[in-house]
């Protein structure tokens, strides 16, 4: 197995990140530093990162119905609740991020290469959100969202309104995005003058949290894992 793939299976990140580890001189095979990206790892080899032995993890793929008031970062200094606490498996990390108050579908895995590709704009993974916002979304603003709207920091966000229902002062809007910008949904609607009251991600790459209560999770099926890998060219 090629060294960068081996390291990715050890939970050390995407193959690209693992290539950076190799080139930095931090990887040893059988006690000898290697910086050659073409290096192959045999079953009998011992591999070390910073002089600590590493081995491939048992790969896990999880879907979580994220509750509000949980953060998706793995480290926390201020005592806030983390989604990783719900799984009690520090090797499994969120694929991308959701704001602390945003709920819904969160994929978690220790497959570094898959996680990297699922969050890379190149693969345009569909994310569908249901937002409750103040006011009504005009036809003009729906067109602006589809054409691309400047949300600041030189970033243009594109979205597709799948459904919108106005209910006396607020709207329930279903919107699909594929770019994965930071706080993208909130920034889109705030730019258009709408306050986001609640936000729930109902789908990621076509996967839903159906049957899961807030805070509950389950392992993905082989079919679901295969589906995600096909979306990003890993199968």
pLDDT at 193: 95
Q: Please state which of the ranges 49-58, 71-80, 196-205 shows the lowest mean pLDDT.
A: 71-80
What structural domains does the chain harbor? Answer: 3-54 (3.10.290.10), 61-121+207-231 (3.30.70.580), 126-204 (3.30.70.1560)
CA 53 remoteness from chain centre: 28
* Arithmetic mean of pLDDT, 195-206: 97
Enzyme catalytic residues: 99
- Average of per-residue pLDDT across 173-195: 95
- For residue 196, give Cα distances in angstroms to 50, 70, 133, 167, 181: 45, 18, 4, 15, 17
What pLDDT does residue 16 have? 87
For the segment 67-109, what is each residue's pLDDT rounded down to a tens digit?
999 999 877 777 889 999 999 888 899 999 999 999 999 999 9
């Amino acid at each position: 197995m090629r060294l960068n793939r081996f390291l990715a299976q050890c939970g050390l990140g995407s193959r690209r990140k693992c290539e950076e580890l190799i080139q930095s001189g931090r990887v040893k095979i059988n006690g000898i530093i290697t910086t050659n990206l073409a290096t192959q790892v045999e079953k009998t080899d011992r591999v070390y990162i910073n002089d600590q032995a590493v081995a491939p993890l048992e790969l896990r793929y999880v879907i979580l119905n994220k509750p509000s008031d949980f953060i998706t970062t793995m480290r926390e200094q201020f005592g806030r609740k983390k989604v990783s606490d719900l799984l009690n498996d520090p090797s499994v990390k969120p694929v991308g991020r959701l704001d602390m108050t945003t709920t819904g579908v969160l994929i978690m895995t220790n497959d570094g290469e898959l996680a990297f590709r699922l969050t890379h704009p190149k693969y345009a993974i569909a994310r569908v959100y249901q937002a409750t916002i103040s006011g009504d979304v005009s036809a003009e603003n729906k067109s602006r969202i589809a054409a691309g709207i400047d949300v600041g920091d030189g970033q243009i966000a594109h979205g597709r309104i799948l459904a919108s229902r106005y209910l006396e002062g607020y709207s329930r809007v279903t919107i699909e995005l594929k770019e994965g910008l930071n706080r993208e949904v909130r920034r889109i609607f705030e730019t258009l003058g709408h306050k986001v009251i609640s936000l729930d991600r109902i789908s990621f790459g076509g996967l839903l949290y159906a049957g899961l209560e807030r805070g509950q999770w389950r392992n993905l099926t082989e079919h679901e894992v295969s589906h995600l890998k096909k979306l990003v060219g890993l199968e």
